[in-house]
Amino acid sequence: MSHFTHMKTRFQNLFYLEKALNRLNIVHEEKLFTNSEIESSKTNLIIPQSNGYDIKFVWNGQEYELVVDMSYWEQPYPIESFIDKVAQQYAGEVIIGESQKTGFQPIKYQQNADGSNTLILERWNNEKIVTNA
């Protein structure tokens, strides 16, 4: 008997969530979902598993919830570690993406041996200095 677990997340942006999964080399696919309760169509992410019990990030109207049958978890690490890894990469992608909107560019993104990430951004001021003579 299947028993699905719904885990709340803070993932609200599909673009950054996909980038985080890509950075972790987690194979996933998009699936369009129409929810009459929310009255909109939203793309969900599916992480296929060989046993047929896929992991899903499903839009609940506010965020992407992780939906999984814990009895059929087939990932190389526990679900808590999985969520932590995705959340860490998601945060990095949000920082990079949002800072680029204000002119910053990432110059270094490094995953450290202790599991942390180092992110260095820079922005140059290209405005001309005008002097009145």
Q: In this structure, are residues 90 and 99 in contact, taking their beta carbons and an 8 Å threshold?
A: no
pTM score, two decimals? Answer: 0.81
| Range 61-81 average pLDDT | 91
Residue 40 has pLDDT above 60, yes or no: no
Give the pLDDT score at 42: 79
Residue 105 has pLDDT above 80, yes or no: yes
Compute CA distances 19 → 52, 96, 132, whole Å. Answer: 24, 11, 48
**Whole-angstrom Cα distance, residue 127 to residue 109?**
27
CB neighbours (10 Å) of residue 45? 22
Give the pLDDT score at 81: 92
